[in-house]
């Protein structure tokens, strides 16, 4: 850890010894809270570590950035590197912890009093490491300036940001930092945000974003036209709409024949190759905010599990002309590793 010593000091104090003890305790303790960490090591003062975590001013962003760059440099170049985005939640008993509130907590699978953090990881083959994190502040925090000030939140961080907005901050920051990655991944929360996908593409990256099963698509490129008025009642239509019928992605896959699926070996596991069936099709979506039609490659994965058949739907800007089906399937499967970083 000596390479990180510069980030654990300010003009008057140094905290590196506390950082070493805390980090060591995380690896040694089964329950990773300060009390258990101090018990496990014996010679660690509880109040010193508590003060180090809660009150000491050290450069957390500098630590994360250095870890991100070092991770980026050591990942093998033979595989595509992803930057999967996900979130993690921690249950809390009180309301004093920054960002704590009643919200969905993925760790417990329900709404709970919790903190939620949006995270980014670098993923390459079997290698994965967290490289960035942004705490989500619910509106009952950002709309209460006194509460934010009492909790010590910097004023520039008190504005409300959605989780997709925090995700884009992570992506843009890693891009500006010089971290190397080829694509960005995310679950349906991020995949259903059309503008996030367009921003990622604007930075020059591929994206592979999961979408919800009720996402509607057009199998043929529609034109936007003002529809003719039907009947004599009501106002005359004045907003353009697609002139072709849309279909939900889950309804689309129900009509696929067996020969429209391709079985692909995604990666090796302890039990051999992980295989799944994939379907790829170019589709179009209506971006109502921009008033235009946009292309996407729809990737559908069908995988048999102990609970039955699992279906996953994703949008990507990768094309079958540039990438093999196996490479696209690999990108869709990489979220598995960021989840292992968290749990």
CB distance 280 to 331 below 8 Å: no
User: Each residue of 222-261: pLDDT tens digit?
Assistant: 998 887 777 667 777 768 889 999 999 999 999 999 999 9
What's the pLDDT at 33?
80
Task: Reduce the DSSP state of residue 265 to 3 states and report it.
Answer: strand
Within 10 Å of residue 174's Cβ, how many Cβ atoms? 23
User: Each residue of 15-30: pLDDT tens digit?
Assistant: 898 898 888 888 877 7
Report how far residue 68's alpha carbon sits from residue 61's, in angstroms, rounded to the nearest whole number.
10
Residue 300: in which H helix or E strand, if any?
strand 292-305
Task: Reduce the DSSP state of residue 12 to 3 states and report it.
Answer: coil
Which residues are CB-contacts of 194 (< 8 A; sequence separation ≥ 6)? 285, 287, 289, 294
Mean pLDDT of 77-97: 90
pLDDT band at 343 (very low <50, low <70, confident <90, very high): low
CB distance 300 to 312 below 8 Å: yes
CA distances, 337 to each of 41, 68, 112, 189, 199 (Å): 30, 16, 25, 18, 24
- Output 97 or 313, whichever has higher pLDDT: 313
The radius of gyration computed from the CA coordinates of the chain, to the nearest angstrom, equals 24
What's the pLDDT at 77?
81
What's the pLDDT at 30?
73
**pTM of the entire predicted model:** 0.91
- Average pLDDT over the chain reads 90
- Output 13 or 312, whichever has higher pLDDT: 312
CA distances, 280 to each of 17, 78, 176, 246, 323 (Å): 53, 24, 32, 17, 12
For the chain, what is the largest distance between any 2 Cα atoms, rounded to a whole number of angstroms? 84
Which residues are CB-contacts of 130 (< 8 A; sequence separation ≥ 6)? 119, 120, 121, 338, 341, 342
- Flag the least confident range among 40-49, 87-96, 157-166: 40-49
Report how far residue 89's alpha carbon sits from residue 337's, in angstroms, rounded to the nearest whole number.
17
Report how far residue 191's alpha carbon sits from residue 199's, in angstroms, rounded to the nearest whole number.
12
Q: Indicate the angle between helix axes 34-41 and 16-28, nearest 10 degrees.
A: 90
pLDDT band at 9 (very low <50, low <70, confident <90, very high): confident
Nearest to 15 by CA among 65, 63, 66: 63
Place of tokens 């704590």: 100
Percentages (nearest 5) of helix, strand, coil residues in the chain: 35, 30, 35
What's the pLDDT at 337?
67
Task: Reduce the DSSP state of residue 28 to 3 states and report it.
Answer: helix
Rounded to the nearest 5 degrees, what angle is found at the Cα of 163, between the Cα atoms of 159 and 169? 75
β-pair partners for 87: 118
CA distances, 83 to each of 61, 134, 143 (Å): 18, 15, 31
Within 10 Å of residue 29's Cβ, how many Cβ atoms? 17
The count of residues in the chain is: 343
Report how far residue 124's alpha carbon sits from residue 165's, in angstroms, rounded to the nearest whole number.
25
CB distance 313 to 210 below 8 Å: yes
């Amino acid at each position: 850890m000596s390479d990180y010593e510069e980030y654990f000091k300010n003009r008057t104090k140094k905290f590196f010894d506390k950082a070493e003890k805390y980090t060591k305790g995380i690896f040694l303790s089964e329950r990773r809270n300060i009390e258990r960490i101090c018990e496990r090591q014996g010679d660690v003062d509880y109040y010193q570590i508590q003060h180090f975590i809660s009150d000491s001013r050290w450069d957390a962003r500098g630590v994360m950035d250095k870890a991100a760059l070092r991770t980026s440099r050591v990942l093998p170049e033979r595989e595509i590197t992803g930057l999967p985005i996900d979130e993690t939640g921690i249950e809390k008993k009180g309301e004093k912890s920054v960002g704590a509130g009643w919200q969905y907590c993925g760790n417990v699978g329900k709404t709970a009093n919790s903190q939620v953090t949006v995270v980014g990881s670098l993923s390459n083959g079997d290698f994965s490491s967290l490289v960035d994190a942004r705490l989500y502040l619910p509106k009952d925090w950002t709309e209460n300036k006194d509460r934010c000030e009492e909790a010590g939140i910097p004023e520039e961080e008190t504005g409300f940001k959605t989780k997709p907005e925090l995700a884009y901050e992570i992506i843009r920051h890693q891009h500006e930092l010089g971290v190397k990655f080829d694509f960005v991944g995310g679950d349906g929360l991020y995949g259903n945000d059309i503008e996030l996908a367009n921003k990622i593409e604007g930075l020059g990256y591929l994206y592979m974003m999961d979408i919800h099963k009720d996402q509607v698509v057009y199998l043929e490129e529609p034109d936007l036209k003002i529809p003719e008025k039907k009947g004599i009642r009501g106002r005359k239509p004045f907003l353009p709409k697609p002139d072709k019928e849309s279909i939900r992605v889950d309804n689309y896959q129900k009509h696929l024949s067996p020969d429209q699926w391709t079985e692909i070996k995604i990666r090796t596991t302890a039990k051999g190759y992980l295989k799944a069936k994939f379907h790829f099709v170019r589709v179009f979506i209506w971006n109502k905010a921009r008033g235009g039609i946009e292309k996407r490659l729809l990737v559908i994965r069908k995988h048999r599990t102990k609970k039955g058949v699992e279906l996953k739907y994703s949008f990507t800007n990768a094309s079958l002309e540039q990438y093999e089906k196996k490479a696209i399937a690999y990108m869709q499967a990489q979220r598995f590793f960021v989840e292992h970083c968290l749990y």
